[in-house]
Amino acid sequence: MAEAPDNTEPRCPACGGRLGGFAPDDTVTGIRCTVCDWVGAVTTNHNRPTFDHTPYDVWVEWAGHDRGRIIAAVGNALCIGVKAARELLDAGSPVARGVQALEVRRLSEMFRGLGLCIRVSPEYRWPLG
């Protein structure tokens, strides 16, 4: 008895190869052939931080760190000086307000380079770096 052909998967109309997608963070989304260069209906992938226009507030998490060191680090990182950084942290204020997703990622990378974590509100939907 011959094996039934596998009809459960969509196949490439050009070569019959298996169809695949694009990486989740690719600039486009759609289907394409994994064998030849056939590409199906492709649209811009809006599921990326570039298209996220949510304004985010960003705080530096400094619990457990030396306060003086954090103030100096934040003041340097944001080019606002120690005094402004101290006021910011003492007031529990965000270090950035209403910034876009890519700026959140940049801040996260910058503060992580300083050994600090950030807190983002509303909840950040993208991988942070």
What is the biggest distance separating any 2 CA atoms in the chain, rounded to whole angstroms?
82
Q: Quote the tokens at residue 61.
A: 């998490």
Residue with tokens 């457990």: 64
Q: How many residues does the chain have?
A: 129
Site string for Zn ion, 31-50 (x = CB under 5 A): --x-xx-x------------
User: Cβ closer to Zn ion: 19 or 110?
Assistant: 19
**70 sits near Zn ion (criterion: CB under 5 A):** no
List CB contacts of 83: < 8 A, sequence separation 6 or more: 75
User: Cβ closer to Zn ion: 17 or 30?
Assistant: 17
Task: List phi, psi (to 5°) of 61.
Answer: -85, 115
User: Cβ closer to Zn ion: 27 or 34?
Assistant: 34
What letter represents residue 123's amino acid? E
CA dist., res. 37 & res. 12, Å (int)? 10
Q: Quote the tokens at residue 12.
A: 């490439």
User: Cβ closer to Zn ion: 9 or 123?
Assistant: 9
Applying CB under 5 A, the span of 10-18, 22-30, 83-91, 100-108 interacting with Zn ion comes to 10-18
Q: How far is the CB of 16 from Zn ion (least distance, A)?
A: 7
**30 sits near Zn ion (criterion: CB under 5 A):** no
Q: How many residues bind Zn ion (CB under 5 A)?
A: 8
Site residues (vs Zn ion, CB under 5 A)? 12, 14-15, 17, 33, 35-36, 38
